[in-house]
Amino acid sequence: MHAEKENVRRSPRGIALAACLLACSVANLSAAEAAEPEPDEAAEVGEERERLNGLTLGGAYTFHILRDRDSATTGEPLKTIEHLGGFVIAYDRELIPQHLALTISKPFYFSKERFDTPFDFILKGLFRKGSWEGFIGLVLTWNIRVFEKEREEKEGERNILSFGIGAVIGGAYFFNPRWSLDLEVGYANVPTDDIVEHEVSAALAGTYHF
């Protein structure tokens, strides 16, 4: 009987001890769950690391220094400078994240007398600091120039195919991991048989990164 009374007296202490151990276990489990990132957060971090592609759309301008030449119809000297405006679309792929990228660019340039449809292949070195990114690169450009009828008569041909080499420099500001505003200035020399000898171009465009 005495032993039974002693067990009855001790049982509340055992219950209190068990409750304390249970509370500690629940607290440790909650702390561990809080320390782990939510699946959405982990996926978002993974997405940011995987945004190696970009699509670009924006306005473009180019200034050309032309070779000395005479009109095919009158024999008079033709102009030696020309301005064209238009737009550009491009695809960008980071080969080494935040260090090296390859861009395939397709500008469309217009004037009253001619239409240019170049393809530019650009290998860029990237320099990222916070929300800003600078780049410098090498350019290979392939182009078809199409002349309007009156200009065609002066130049003596309808289309001209040309190749050129050059360089580009620019920068981008990232509003967030998906969107940036890019400014680019480039130069190309055209050593092939073309009316254009030197090209200076500029573009301001928005880029979507994915």
- Host domain of residue 57: 53-209
Name the pLDDT band for 52 (thresholds 50, 70, 90). very high
Indicate if the pLDDT at residue 86 is higher than 80: yes
Together in a domain, 31 and 58: no
Together in a domain, 165 and 204: yes
C-alpha 25/C-alpha 4 separation (Å) is: 31
Indicate whether 15 belongs to any domain. Answer: yes
State the CATH number of the domain containing residue 109: 2.40.160.20
Tokens of 105: 């660019």
Together in a domain, 101 and 26: no
Higher pLDDT, 11 or 84: 84
Together in a domain, 22 and 90: no
pLDDT at 131: 95
Indicate if the pLDDT at residue 46 is higher than 70: no
Together in a domain, 27 and 64: no
Indicate whether 152 belongs to any domain. Answer: yes
Name the pLDDT band for 51 (thresholds 50, 70, 90). confident
* pLDDT tens profile 110-161: 999 999 999 999 999 999 999 999 999 999 999 999 999 999 999 999 999 9
pLDDT at 20: 52
Half-sphere exposure of 54 (CA within 13 A, CB side): 30
Indicate whether 48 belongs to any domain. Answer: no
Together in a domain, 13 and 69: no
pLDDT at 195: 96
Together in a domain, 196 and 103: yes
Give me the mean pLDDT over the 3-8 stretch: 43
Together in a domain, 73 and 98: yes
Indicate whether 42 belongs to any domain. Answer: no
C-alpha 142/C-alpha 167 separation (Å) is: 14
Indicate whether 43 belongs to any domain. Answer: no
If you average pLDDT over every residue of the chain, what do you get?
85
Return the closest-CA partner of residue 106 out of 122, 84, 130, 82: 122
Number of domains the chain is built from = 2
Confirm if 91 and 55 have CB atoms less than 8 A apart. Answer: yes
